[in-house]
Amino acid sequence: MKKNLVWLLILVFTIGCMPISIFADGQIADSVYLNGNIYTLNEKAPKATALAIKGQKLIFVGHDKDVKAYIGKDTKVIDLGGKTVTPGLIEGHMHYPGLGQSLLLLDAFWKPKADILAAVKAEADRLPDGEWILGRGWNQEVWPGAQFPTKEDLDAVAPNNPVSLERTCGHAIWVNSLALKLGGITKDMANPQGGEILRDKGGNATGILTDTAGSIIEKNIPTFNEARKKEALIKAQAELFSYGITTSMDAGSGIEDIKNMKDLYQSGDLKIRLYTMASSGETAQAFYKTGPEVGLFNDRLTINCIKFYADGSLGARSAWMLKEYSDRAGHVGNGRNSNDIFYDMVKEARAHGFQVATHAIGDAAVNQCVNTYEKVLKENPLADHRYRIEHFQVATLEDIQRIADIGIIPAMQSVHATSDKNMAEDRVGSERIKGAYAWRKVINAGSIIPNGSDAPVELVNPYHGLYAAVTRMDRDGVPVGGWYPEECMTREEALKSFTIWAAYGQFQDKSRGSLEVGKLADFTVLDRDVMTCPASDIKDTNALITVVGGETVYTKAISKNLTVMAKGVETKIATTTIGNELYVPIIETAKALGLKYSANLNTISITKDFNPIILAIDSKNINKNGVEYKAANAVKSVKGITYMPVSYLRDYFGYHVMTYTGSNILSINF
């Protein structure tokens, strides 16, 4: 965590005895945020310092002096301390359940082996017997001895749950005996083509399977059950809120995903706003019977769009190109549908009143989309169709102009350009690359670009996307100056691509994407000004507070709840960090430890074993039994609560103190 602890000083106070005055429009806000550096994304009034919220909407956006009229006696007033605020970020193309399910995997990324085994044991203790434990990221090269791990390591901690942990490279898995048994891997089984079952001297599988040998196990892993799928949806929400994303989307949901989402909105577990594209096929057919569902659960869930696929990916050379690949003669990739079939699919969606979004990466796939959309819209016109092409990675210069003319929206993910740059140029060569990831040409032609991450394909962090959009460099700063830097977005365009443009792509620009009176109170407080900070710092931005519909759904942790174990009794204590020191609230801690205490204006006296210790607030001295001690860190008063460093418990009270930051446990022994 950085030095954002000034943040501590944010004051939350209610005005006790505000005189009843004549308010601007008679409205009293539930909450008011002031003293902010607010980018509204409203072109008529782009900057503000204050917001007033009632219910889930904004009733005022403007300046501090004018917001006072909205403050009543019960209004919560938050001083933003000059921090930067943007509209809640909108993730314009990702796979929501997929992100959540990837977060369910145990994170073994380059961790010590003992830590990984402890995490596997914790999962085994938590899950019913027989349930799979899945993870990824281990790397034996960082362990002492650099030896491959074994099935026995896992058997010792999880004998009754099959375990499969993928190596960091993705080309090997580490499994336990139960997983080998379920996969039918025996001593006699030969290595499959393209993979190896690693064996000991006796010929028995050791628990490491490479490439296609791993697939033997992986095909036996059942999909998550309903409870775990719901857990995944909640995990994805927490992840997105931690980045300041208030509206997300799912580029292709099945019937079951949508049912799970609805259950979780009903129970109040989901609060994020979701724009859900129904997958073509059975899900689309089900929705064609009932029509679009817009603004369910207080404007949280909308199903208004059908997701199609026109091709594959450039990496796999399955993106569909008009001419052969530059690095594979005679090969043009794979279109998913004939022109006639695709026309029927789009026509059907149009007839049932749904927006259309089609995954198209190669220039042939893009061209099929443009031709088909144009034809359907000519036959059955719709003034405001907002038909989308997802990714729009390689397009002819003609099609870049045609989509602008027809009003087709290219949903492009800026991080793809910086991840794919070398591979993409190999695939399409130096001429076609001019129409690839060509944001400047797209915007200059008259289009807008909803941005996004395509998570879990890429990390969901939207600040990586903003950074890629304005620099066209990867996060190591390569290439210096950017890859085809003439295609960069301006910072303003990049921020629009994650807010108002993304909202427009979802027919939601009337309710969100900018901070204006009458719109939803969805916004994000950031730790830096992304519009003025050095471009290279944009990628490291942190969201400090995320607000959805006036409700704070995320606050960056500046304090931790510690479980204090004292005399075998557990108490939860909210600690805080000041500088690099961990502080505990004095009175609460004294209570937990069963100590006598009394507080005066400037001192707190605590008595342990009949020895009074006097802590002077905000002074550097401590008096113990009449003797003055110089304390390294003063006792601090924050928001009316007095804290002392945890180390005082050891230094002045003689406790044996141990903290376990991983588990947030503070153990105090006598």
Which residues contact Zn ion (rule: CB under 5 A)? 251, 454
Closest approach of Cβ 234 to Zn ion, in Å? 21
* Nearer to Zn ion (CB atom), residue 162 or residue 252: 252
Q: Is the separation of the CB atoms in 160 and 131 below 8 Å?
A: no
CA–CA dist 277, 366 (Å, integer): 19
Task: Tell me the torsion sign for CA atoms 646, 663, 524, 489.
Answer: positive
Closest approach of Cβ 616 to Zn ion, in Å? 60
Closest approach of Cβ 92 to Zn ion, in Å? 11
DSSP string spanning 56-100?
A: TEEEEEE-HHHHGGG--TT-EEEE-TT-EEEEPEE--S--HHHHH
DSSP state of 180: H
Closest CA to 28 of 54, 61, 48: 54
Closest approach of Cβ 276 to Zn ion, in Å? 13
* Nearer to Zn ion (CB atom), residue 164 or residue 413: 413
* Nearer to Zn ion (CB atom), residue 52 or residue 357: 357
Closest approach of Cβ 47 to Zn ion, in Å? 34
Closest approach of Cβ 455 to Zn ion, in Å? 9
Strands, DSSP E only, in 591-653?
A: 596-599, 603-608, 611-616, 621-624, 627-630, 636-638, 641-645
DSSP state of 223: P
| Separation of CA 450 from chain center | 17
* Nearer to Zn ion (CB atom), residue 239 or residue 454: 454
* Nearer to Zn ion (CB atom), residue 420 or residue 454: 454
Closest approach of Cβ 394 to Zn ion, in Å? 16
Which residue type does 80 have? L
* Nearer to Zn ion (CB atom), residue 457 or residue 668: 457
**Token digits for 507?**
């027919």
* Nearer to Zn ion (CB atom), residue 84 or residue 451: 451
* Nearer to Zn ion (CB atom), residue 124 or residue 251: 251
Closest approach of Cβ 622 to Zn ion, in Å? 59
CA–CA dist 145, 486 (Å, integer): 49
Q: Is the separation of the CB atoms in 133 and 158 below 8 Å?
A: yes
CA–CA dist 66, 76 (Å, integer): 16
Q: Where are the alpha helices (DSSP H) in 243-362?
A: 255-266, 282-290, 296-299, 339-351
Closest approach of Cβ 93 to Zn ion, in Å? 6
Closest approach of Cβ 457 to Zn ion, in Å? 6
CA–CA dist 159, 255 (Å, integer): 35
* Nearer to Zn ion (CB atom), residue 123 or residue 454: 454
Strands, DSSP E only, in 122-185?
A: 133-138, 163-167, 172-175
List Cα–Cα distances, 399 to 49, 407, 421, 502, in angstroms. 42, 12, 21, 21
CA–CA dist 133, 118 (Å, integer): 13
Closest approach of Cβ 277 to Zn ion, in Å? 10
Q: Is the separation of the CB atoms in 30 and 55 below 8 Å?
A: yes
* Nearer to Zn ion (CB atom), residue 62 or residue 456: 456
Closest approach of Cβ 365 to Zn ion, in Å? 14
* Nearer to Zn ion (CB atom), residue 49 or residue 419: 419
Residue 559 DSSP SS3: coil
Closest approach of Cβ 95 to Zn ion, in Å? 6
Q: How would you classify the pairing of strands 551-555 and 596-599?
A: unpaired
CA–CA dist 561, 582 (Å, integer): 11
Closest approach of Cβ 98 to Zn ion, in Å? 9
* Nearer to Zn ion (CB atom), residue 52 or residue 303: 303
Closest CA to 390 of 372, 404, 410: 410
CA–CA dist 321, 329 (Å, integer): 12
Beta bridge partners of 197: 209
* Nearer to Zn ion (CB atom), residue 300 or residue 416: 416
Closest approach of Cβ 389 to Zn ion, in Å? 12
The answer for residues whose C-beta is within 8 angstroms of residue 441's C-beta and 6 or more apart is 397, 400, 434, 435, 487
Q: How many residues does the chain have?
A: 670
Closest approach of Cβ 318 to Zn ion, in Å? 14
DSSP string spanning 411-480?
A: E--HHHHHHHHHHHHHHHHHHHGGGBS-HHHHHHTT--------TTSS---HHHHHHHHHH---TT--ST
Closest approach of Cβ 368 to Zn ion, in Å? 18
* Nearer to Zn ion (CB atom), residue 251 or residue 408: 251
**Token digits for 105?**
């995997």
* Nearer to Zn ion (CB atom), residue 39 or residue 387: 387
* Nearer to Zn ion (CB atom), residue 34 or residue 455: 455
**Token digits for 389?**
């092409």
* Nearer to Zn ion (CB atom), residue 424 or residue 622: 424
Instruction: Give the H/E segment covering residue 42.
Output: none
